[in-house]
Amino acid sequence: MRKLKLQVQMTVDGFVARPDGALDWMTWNLDEKLIQFIGDLHTTVDSILLGRKMTGGFNSYWESVSKNPESPEYTFGTLLHEMPKFVFTKTLSESDPEVKAWHKTSLIKGDLVEEVNKLKNQDGKDLIVYGGAEFVSNLVRNNLIDEYFLFINPTAIGSGLKIFDKVGESLKLTLVKATPYSCGITVLNYKPA
């Protein structure tokens, strides 16, 4: 069975975005060791899961990077652009013009738990999810994430969007590894306890 891995940028006070979704607090100057770690993580996956709200910006950003060989993110951007993407939505349809422009993107409209488990039971490498916050929160609440990679940025923003706000009584995790990087980000790798 394939695992679902979460890679998410987070503040030290537990937010993944400002209340309006802004990401201006993130550390953008990643050091080479962290870039290598991200690249290595992506050799273990072959598909991306996304929530509807995040998909438009995600797809357009990585498509533009994949068309610019001068970008320092070119190789990684091309990888993400070419990777199959599964968008969980209740409102979009395949006939929407925006959806038709999304490269290697499929819409999933069924029950979250059932559909994620179908993807996990398919052949292939593991799956990765980046967001958005509400989508990831639902994955967390339904115990669908098999491995967490929390990129803790050295920033506190006081309020914003969270992914662990709907876990119910508690969510027990086991720390696999904690790795600090010179850019100030610490990657916390957890598995469900």
Per-residue tens of pLDDT for the chain, all 193 residues: 999 999 999 999 999 999 999 999 999 888 999 999 999 999 999 999 998 888 888 888 888 889 999 988 888 889 999 999 999 988 877 656 666 678 888 999 999 999 999 999 999 999 999 888 999 999 999 999 999 999 999 999 999 999 998 777 789 999 999 999 999 999 999 999 9
pTM over 0.95: no
> Is the distance from CB of 30 to CB of 153 less than 8 angstroms?
no
CA distances from 32 to 38, 115, 181 (A): 10, 36, 9
Helix (H, G, I), strand (E, B) or coil at 187: strand
Tell me how far apart the alpha carbons of residues 193 and 3 are, in angstroms, rounded to a whole number. 15
What range defines the domain where residue 124 resides?
A: 4-192
CATH number of the domain encompassing residue 12: 3.40.430.10
How many domains does the chain fold into? 1
